[in-house]
Amino acid sequence: MVQDLIKQIVEKTGVPADKAQQVLGVVAGFVKEKFPMMGGQIDSLLGTSGGQASGDNKSDGNNFMSDIGGKMGF
């Protein structure tokens, strides 16, 4: 699922895959910060560990990126 989303970002914007992955992390972090009650759903959808959904409103997507990168072999 995450690979498909990154692929679409790359195809529709022309940005490199690593930047698309970074954008995805920033967006996920933003949504989780603004809507903490949705953190679990975002983690479930994107396969992340949930570290940012635990009320840490200072998230910038870095933990998300580590989680995703590990799952995708980066």
pLDDT at 52: 39
Mean pLDDT, all residues of the chain? 75
pLDDT in tens, 32-55: 999 999 998 988 888 766 543 333
Query: What is the three-class DSSP state of 73?
Result: coil
Look at residue 2 in the predicted model and tell me its pLDDT.
87
Angle at CA of residue 73, ends 55 and 41, nearest 5°: 30
pLDDT range class, residue 59, cuts 50, 70, 90: very low
Kindly report the pTM of this predicted structure: 0.58
Query: Which pair of tokens denotes residue 61?
Result: 């997507």
Q: Is the pLDDT of residue 65 over 60?
A: no
Enumerate the domain spans of the chain.
Answer: 2-7+18-72
CB 46 within 8 A of CB 28: yes
